[in-house]
A and B are shown apart, each in its own frame.
Chain A
Amino acid sequence: SDSQVTQIHVEGMTCQSCVTTIESKIKDMSGVKRITVSLSEKEADIVYDPNVTNPVTLRNEIEDMGFAASLEH
């Protein structure tokens, strides 16, 4: 299956536990192949299957967790 990468800007993370919480919750979402969250960059890089999910759905999931997530940089 093909995959694409999206970079989501995430405001509100202040420690490593916020990073691991987001990574563990998002990687379980359908269509997500890999996620790396950088605290210093305030960014989540997500590899996903575009036939299953999309950047907006992924952004909304991070927003639902209580972080400010945006697709623009």
Chain B
Amino acid sequence: MASQVHEFYMAMTCEGCANAAKRVLQKQGDAVTDIQTDVGNKKVTVTSRLTSNELLEILKKTGKEVNYIGVKM
């Protein structure tokens, strides 16, 4: 499956939360090719070949509230 850019809302309140999101995604190795976090707007943008559901489950491991917004590109 071609990789897509998925956007998620995530209840991040600080850089530590953003780093936690990055680390759980980075554990997926090359299945995730880019991660952008925006604490101010509580957004996580992920470029990956994984499905949005798989990415949602991965992000939920951080214990934070996460919602799927949609595909950006």
Partners in one complex: yes
Interface residue total, chain A, C-beta cutoff 8 A: 15
Interface of B is mostly: helix
- In the complex, the answer to whether A66 meets B22 with C-beta atoms within 8 Å is yes
Q: Interface size for chain B: under 10, 10 to 19, 20 to 34, or 35 or more residues?
A: 10 to 19
| Residues of chain A contacted by B22 (CB below 8 angstroms) | 66
Say whether, besides A12-B19, A64-B24, A18 and B61 are in contact (CB < 8 Å): no
- In the complex, the answer to whether A67 meets B20 with C-beta atoms within 8 Å is yes
- In the complex, the answer to whether B61 meets A64 with C-beta atoms within 8 Å is yes
User: What mask results when residues 1 to 28 of chain A are scored 1 for a CB within 8 Å of chain B, else 0?
Assistant: 0000000000011110110011011000
On A, residues with C-beta under 8 Å from B are: 12-15, 17-18, 21-22, 24-25, 64-68
Given A21-B63, A24-B63, A66-B24, 17 other A-B residues pairs in contact with their CB atoms under 8 A: A12-B16, A12-B19, A13-B16, A14-B14, A14-B15, A15-B13, A15-B16, A17-B16, A17-B17, A18-B16, A21-B62, A25-B63, A64-B24, A64-B61, A65-B63, A66-B61, A67-B23
